[in-house]
Amino acid sequence: MPKEGHFINRSNWLRAAVLGANDGIVSSASLLVGVSAAGMTQGNVLLTGLAGLTAGALSMAAGEYVSVSAQADVEKADLERERVALIEDPDYELSELAEGLENRGVQSDLALEVATQMTDHDALGAHAREELGMFGLAGQADPLQAAGASALAFALGGGLPLFAAVLAHAGLRGVTIALVALLALILLGAGGAQLGGAPKRPAIGRVVVWGGLAMAVTAGVGHLFGAIG
């Protein structure tokens, strides 16, 4: 019988990578489509795209690092509170663990026996899992991993619309960028779903609809300001 596969262990870096790539594609493409619609020259369009790509990748890295660091701090603080509680009032913590097992359907006597065995084996680990939903005392949050994955994904994703802007004919620049971005979003949605073991169609639909809407709105703004200018 084949062993079932699970993908939850990929959720931290996969979330950061998909978010970074999606933001890179959508923000870079929207920016390039908008300034193209406003009538900017080729050189100005490329300079704007390069600046947006650089700033966006660094911003994503900084944002992920700060937010995931905050999550890691909360995890460490909760673990420390549990560690102190186990030292100061182990009987209460044992009953709390048993009560949690009972609430999940384990019979009272068995719950106490299981809680005792779990406490003898790894008290802090047991409470981290049952009370805090943390699997592994090191926590699930890795700021550097999230920052690196997000920044790299943003740069790769945002580089595609910029590359399209370099190669596109001036009269078709906006359309070319939008088509390349939509194709990239389709691949991103399908790839993210594949890596996460999730259905592909809803994932593709989400990124294409929201990405297309962002580009359409930004193109409209570019046309408006281009006409005013």
**20 and 95 in a common domain:** no
Q: What is the span of the domain harbouring residue 180?
A: 10-68+144-228
**148 and 64 in a common domain:** yes
Does residue 138 belong to any structural domain of this protein? no
| Number of domain units in the chain | 2
**84 and 195 in a common domain:** no
Does residue 103 belong to any structural domain of this protein? yes
Average per-residue pLDDT for the chain? 84
**157 and 207 in a common domain:** yes
Does residue 166 belong to any structural domain of this protein? yes
Give the pLDDT of residue 48: 92
**196 and 83 in a common domain:** no
Residue with tokens 């460490």: 76
CA dihedral sign of residues 30, 64, 204, 202:
negative
Does residue 1 belong to any structural domain of this protein? no
Calculate the alpha carbon distances from 141 to 13, 81, 103, 195, 219 in Å.
9, 18, 28, 19, 38
**210 and 161 in a common domain:** yes
Of the listed ranges 128-132, 172-176, 211-215, the least confidently predicted one is: 128-132
**165 and 123 in a common domain:** no
Distance, CA of 61 to CA of 143 (rounded, Å) = 9
Does residue 191 belong to any structural domain of this protein? yes
Say if residues 177 and 46 touch (Cβ distance below 8 Å): no
List pLDDT tens digits, range 160-200: 999 999 998 888 898 999 999 999 999 988 987 887 778 89
pTM, two decimal places: 0.71
**201 and 105 in a common domain:** no
Q: Answer yes or no: is pLDDT of 4 > 80.
A: no
**48 and 28 in a common domain:** yes
Say if residues 154 and 23 touch (Cβ distance below 8 Å): yes
